A and B are shown apart, each in its own frame.
Chain A
Amino acid sequence: MHPLDWLIVLSYLAYVIWHGLKLSRGSLDSESFFLAGRSLPWWAVGLSVMATQMSAITLIGTTGQAYEDGIRFIQFYFGLPLAMIILCVTAVPFFYRAKVFTAYEYLEQRFDSRTRTLTSFFFLISRGLGVGVIIAAPAVVLSIVLGWGELITIFAIGLSTTFYTMMGGVQAVTWTDVKQMAIIMIGLALCVLVILQALPEDVSLKDALFVAGAAGKLETIDFTFDLTERYTFWSGTIAALFLFLSYFGCDQSQVQRYLTARSEDESRTSLLMSAFLKIPLQFLILFIGILVFVFYQFAQPPMVFNELAQQQAADVNPAVHQQIQIEFTGVHEQRRLAALDFIDAINTDLEATARASYVNANAEFSASRREATEFVRQTNDDASFNDVNYVFPTFVLQNMPLGVVGLIVAAILAAAMSSVAAELNSLATTSTMDLYRQHINPDSTEKELLRFGRIATLLWGLFACVVATFVTNLGSLIEVVNTFGSFFYGSLLGVFVLAFVVPSAKSAGAFYGLLFGMVSVWIASYLTDIAFLWFNVVGCLITVAAGYLISAFSKGGV
Chain B
Amino acid sequence: MNNYWLEAGGSGSAVNSYSRLTHLLKVNLIEEDNMPEPSPGPAKSPASLKPWRYIYLLVLVSAVTIISTLYFFSAYFSS
A residues contacting B by CB (< 8 A) are 71, 74, 78, 81-82, 84-85, 88-90, 93-94, 97-100, 105-106, 109-110, 209-210, 212-214, 216, 218-221, 263-266, 268-269, 272, 275-276, 279-280, 283, 499-506, 558
Contacts and interface: CB of A to CB of B under 8 A. Distances in A.
Interface residues of B, number: 41
Contacts of B60: 81-82, 85
Interface in B1-48: 1-6, 11, 13-15, 17-18, 20-21, 24-25, 28-29, 41-42, 45, 47-48
Looking at chain B's contact residues, is the secondary structure mostly helix, strand, loop, or mixed?
Answer: helix
Given A81-B62, A85-B60, A265-B47, A110 B25 contact: no
Contact of A78 (B42, B62, B67, B76): B67
Contacts of B5: 98, 106, 109-110
Given A219-B78, A275-B63, 4 more contacts: A74-B70, A81-B62, A213-B74, A218-B73
Given A81-B62, A264-B42, A266-B47, A88 B52 contact: yes
A475 to B, nearest CB: 26
Contacts of B13: 109-110, 558
A440 to B, nearest CB: 16
Given A499-B17, A500-B21, A218 B74 contact: yes
Contacts of A216: 78
B68 to A, nearest CB: 10
A81 B63 contact: yes
Contact of A110 (B3, B17, B24, B41): B17
Most A C-beta atoms less than 10 A away, residue of B11, B45, B74: B74
B56 A85 contact: yes
A221 B2 contact: no
Given A89-B28, A98-B2, A279 B66 contact: yes
Nearest to B41: A97
Contacts of A94: 17, 20-21, 24
| A-B interface, 8 closest residue pairs, ranked by CB to CB distance from nearest | A213-B77, A503-B18, A220-B74, A81-B63, A213-B78, A99-B2, A265-B47, A89-B28
A213 B79 contact: yes
Nearest to B57: A85
B71 A220 contact: yes
11 contacts: A89-B24, A90-B21, A90-B25, A97-B4, A109-B2, A109-B5, A110-B17, A272-B56, A279-B70, A280-B66, A558-B14
Contacts of A219: 74, 78
A501 B21 contact: yes
B34 to A, nearest CB: 13
A214 B76 CA distance: 11
A276 B62 contact: yes
Contact of B77 (A90, A93, A212): A212
Nearest to B70: A220
A510 B28 CA distance: 27
Contact of A500 (B2, B17, B52): B17
A202 to B, nearest CB: 18
A499 to B, nearest CB: 6
Contacts of B77: 209-210, 212-213, 218
Contact of A279 (B21, B29, B63, B71): B63
Contact of B70 (A93, A97, A99, A283): A283
A211 B74 CA distance: 12
Given A221-B74, A279-B66, A97 B14 contact: no
